[in-house]
Amino acid sequence: MTSNVIIEIRAGAGGSEAALFANDLFRMYSKFAEKQGWKTKILDDNVLQISGENAYTYLQQEGGVHRVQRIPKTEKSGRIHTSTASVAILPYVEPREFEIKPGDLKIDTFRSSGPGGQYVNKTESAIRITHMPSGFVVASQRERSQAANKETAMSLLRSRLFAFKAQQDMQKLGQQRNAQIGTADRSEKIRTYNFPQDRITDHRIKKDWHNMEDILNGNLWPIIKKFQKEN
């Protein structure tokens, strides 16, 4: 298994503000990778692949529910809103390291769509893959060819299944742990981003950081180093 990583970010509770926060996190991880000189590839609107030395090691603790407290731009009364986004950190898995039986897959094609739902390509180059035993569904429509979209979708599916199997194996050994995604409820939080107080709190190690703008612009090292030291 390589040290590369796939990051999935999903809006949770909070409607449009949660979606905006998910975009903020996506940008934060993209900027962090850029500062390290790592390569990034957008697999989907909310899925980022990062290729670089020790990328998975440095980012694996980011998995969980992230909570934001701030005043939305559309809020006229100045009331602080609380929203969440969930982050899943998946190791990139090479095809030879994890076999998926072709007979377990249902593969559908469709036409790629852009903002507003308009069709981008006239041909059905987008791919949707359903892994029938697990029910996992992945899709890719960003690549130009059907073959490239299939390869991207298979990479994501392979990483999801690998992580899922690893979790099952740990449970069989009696080492119970929570899934990273959870229900994205406000109470299932690993970290809170409090904009009015310019404070980021990691609830697992009970540590705070300020200068939030710098961190959201990709300077994650203070958090990463502190977390690794505590653990």
CA dihedral sign of residues 9, 11, 16, 21? negative
Q: What would the pLDDT profile of 154-168 be if each residue is shown by its tens digit?
A: 999 999 898 888 777
Query: What's at 55, amino acid-wise?
Result: A
Per-residue model confidence (pLDDT) at position 119: 52
| Mean pLDDT of the chain, nearest integer | 86
What is the token pair recorded at 188?
């299932």
What is the token pair recorded at 181?
């995604």
Q: Are 25 and 47 in contact (CB under 8 A)?
A: no
The answer to whether residue 210 scores a pLDDT higher than 50 is yes
Q: What would the pLDDT profile of 126-140 be if each residue is shown by its tens digit?
A: 999 999 999 999 998
The answer to whether residue 1 scores a pLDDT higher than 50 is no
pLDDT band at 116 (very low <50, low <70, confident <90, very high): very low
Helix, strand, coil % in the chain, rounded to nearest 5: 35, 30, 35
Per-residue model confidence (pLDDT) at position 117: 47
- For residue 14, CA distances in Å to 11, 18, 69, 135, 197 come to 8, 5, 10, 27, 20
Domains and CATH numbers, the chain: 5-93+179-230 (3.30.70.1660), 96-172 (3.30.160.20)
The Cα 152–Cα 10 span in angstroms is 19
The answer to whether residue 24 scores a pLDDT higher than 80 is yes
Per-residue model confidence (pLDDT) at position 120: 54
